[in-house]
Amino acid sequence: MDEIRAIVAAVKDSRLRALLDSFLDDPELGPAFAAAPAAKSIHHAHRGGLVDHTLSVMRLAQKICDHYPQLDRDLVVAGALLHDIGKARELTAAGEDYTDEGKLVGHLVLTCQLIHEKASKIADFPRELEGLVTHLVVAHHGRREYGSPKEPVTLEAMVVHALDDLDTRISSFGQLFEKAEPGARWTDSRNIYGRQLLVPKRDK
């Protein structure tokens, strides 16, 4: 959490920084975010997994913005922090089930509601900026068939989607590798990818 706050503190736009701080400082959401898993089973499925995943995406965001200076670093960082933060209310802390809010609304809509609620309390928060930040969340699953109400239409939204997808898959593959039989060269094919994965050679 300290590193997440340090990355947020470097956001140049004071109003956007205030928005991000308002999520981290929320007396209910902040602690829930720190404890929540990122998913029930697919990736980062452990207590604190949501923070692990979020920080990983934020670190990647900094590196990708160094490589592509045409990106709006503040927006990419904002998307990295906020894209899954609604999962703190979508999932129970133990990750064994979805909350009523999670079943009825889901983390994308929950996060968008929070963005609007918190932005409305920040003086002169630009409506256009709120729209851009909201788009980062609603588009982060990438495609409509994957649950995105909108597909990415900005560079920053495309990047947030790509980094989230990368970090999610690396965690997911890792979990499947861990479940493989000791000494096995391949995972079982009965997984979300529907195919066997080659298990990396482990250090002896």
**In the prediction, which pLDDT does 138 show?**
94
- Write out the residue range of the structural domain in which residue 26 sits: 2-179
As a whole number of Å, the end-to-end CA separation of the chain is 34
Q: What share of the chain is helix, strand, coil (3-state, %, to 5)?
A: 55, 0, 40
* Per-residue pLDDT reduced to its tens digit, 27-55: 998 988 888 876 666 656 677 789 999 99
Q: Which residues of the chain have pLDDT under 50?
A: none
123: left (phi over 0), alpha (psi -120 to 50) or beta: beta
Establish if 56 belongs to a structural domain. yes
Q: Angle, nearest 10°, between helix axes 127-138 and 155-179?
A: 30
When the pLDDT of each residue in the chain is averaged and rounded to a whole number, the result is 89
Establish if 195 belongs to a structural domain. no
Q: How many domains does the chain have?
A: 1
Tokens 């391949």 locate to: 186
What CATH number is associated with residue 112?
A: 1.10.3210
Q: How much is the pTM? A: 0.88
Establish if 201 belongs to a structural domain. no
**In the prediction, which pLDDT does 133 show?**
97
Establish if 11 belongs to a structural domain. yes
